[in-house]
Structure 1
């Protein structure tokens, strides 16, 4: 395990980018505030992260114009619950701004940051612990992901162009866990178009570790996803 020059052990922080509008979901407003099983989607996400004892804190990064979070997640408070209204125009910018906020709050380069989508509201504490266990002593870090099971088709103007070989391909999930001192320059190098943290780290020549996730840890994106999440949450709580 990497220990810094002062002899301190690395801490783990969760960072939840929550500044998007979720245009594909069909919701009237930002999808992270859409109700799922009686609570805002992001409230389920944050409740699960709060149960991970090894997280020193969870930082939620909101848009500067956000006026909905406080009412949607009224119980998000305390020494391990942080909010910053410094979100950017893209996910990458929002995460980069969140990393800067973590540094201002005392996070060090050797500390781990677990970036998790607000829209993956079915995340379970044990899955986060699985990622931490797999990556804590890793040189690079890694992410939850699933091997692709479906046959993949490449599209051209609404028709199949060809079938893509699915062997060795994984679908990326979150959290994605990297050291602050690696992730910040990786995002700066990759630019605003990067869609996940692992891609930015890969662009610097590193190979993030793939840690098997669960299919229930899907990202609520399309209207039907909300109905499925409702059913799964109802089953979990039954």
Structure 2
């Protein structure tokens, strides 16, 4: 696989409050390593990835202090209170020789089971498509809209609906500008594609493996541990 090198951005300033406990979820161990180490390793093992910029909370005492993995640089910057703030800080902290139109991969620190084949196809798709691309999967379950009291209001059509995964891949300046515009408008974006969509971009959807799970609950962590322990 050949082509221009890309950089990875990993927002890791969150405290993982939905998971519970004192340890931010990116530092929870699975298959003997912190989740963030699995995530970084999956990215940096890829031949097209030149390095990673990790956005950390200020005074993060749990960061292991890596400066390289797989022989590639791991750099750090201080993130922000929201995911979008951390991604923007990381984009701005990338080395000066990373071009404005360079492809950047944004990946969740607590999404440890990224497959190389998915990363191959994502990079190819994002390189070919001017608005970038994201990994995801079509919604396969029946969707119900709930009332406040927990009863079903209606069944929602799932045609054309996808679950969004990471990495998400966009050009450095285009994503930075989209995130700044969302912040200026007071819009809290929940992923990078949402920021791009606000400006009229239509990123490509790339179907990826559904075991590329994001750890948000103890059950997710148990599943990640099984998957990583049996990974070939």
State whether residues 136 and 162 of structure 2, in contact with CA within 8 Å, keep that contact through their aligned partners in structure 1: yes
Q: Give the TM-score taking structure 2 as reference length.
A: 0.92
**Contact 1:66/1:85 (CA < 8 Å) preserved in 2?**
no
**Residue 128 and residue 78 in structure 1: after superposition, are their counterparts in 2 closer, same or farther (change >3 A)?**
closer
Q: Quick one: structure 1 residues 236 and 75, their matched pair in 2 at CA, closer, same or farther if it must change by over 3 Å? A: farther
For residue 189 of structure 1, the aligned residue among 181, 204, 224 is 181
User: Is the partner of 1:175 in helix, strand or coil?
Assistant: strand
Change (3 A) 1:197 1:38: same
Q: From 69, 92, 110, give the equivalent of 2:101.
A: 110
The 5-angstrom pairing of residues 62-211 of structure 1 reads 62-70=56-64, 74=66, 76-77=68-69, 80-102=72-94, 104-157=95-148, 158-191=150-183, 193-211=188-206
Q: Which digits, 9 at most, give the CA deviation of each residue in 1:76-125, with x for residues without a partner? A: 458622222311000000000001001x4321111011000011101122
Aligned residues: 226
4+ residue stretches of structure 1 with deviation over 3 A? 74-79
5+ residue gaps, structure 2, are none
Match of 2:211 in 1: 216
**Cα distance in 2 for residues equivalent to 1:47 and 1:175:** 13
Give ranges in structure 1 of 5+ residues lacking alignment. Answer: 1-8
RMSD: 1.7
Q: Secondary structure at the match of 1:136?
A: helix
Structure 1, 23-32 or 89-98: larger mean CA deviation: 23-32
Q: SS of 1:61's equivalent?
A: strand
Counterpart Cα distance in 2 of 1:40 and 1:77: 14
Question: CA deviation digits over 1:145-181, x for unaligned, max 9?
Answer: 1000001111221221211110100000000000012
SS in 1 for 2:88: helix
> Within 1, Cα distance between the matches of 2:192 and 2:214?
16
Distance 1:30 1:45 in 2: 15
Contact 2:53 2:77 in 1 (8 A): no
CA distance in 1, matches of 2:217, 2:120: 28
Q: Name which of 224, 230, 236 aligns with 2:225.
A: 230
Answer whether contact 2:67 2:74 (CA < 8 A) is retained: no
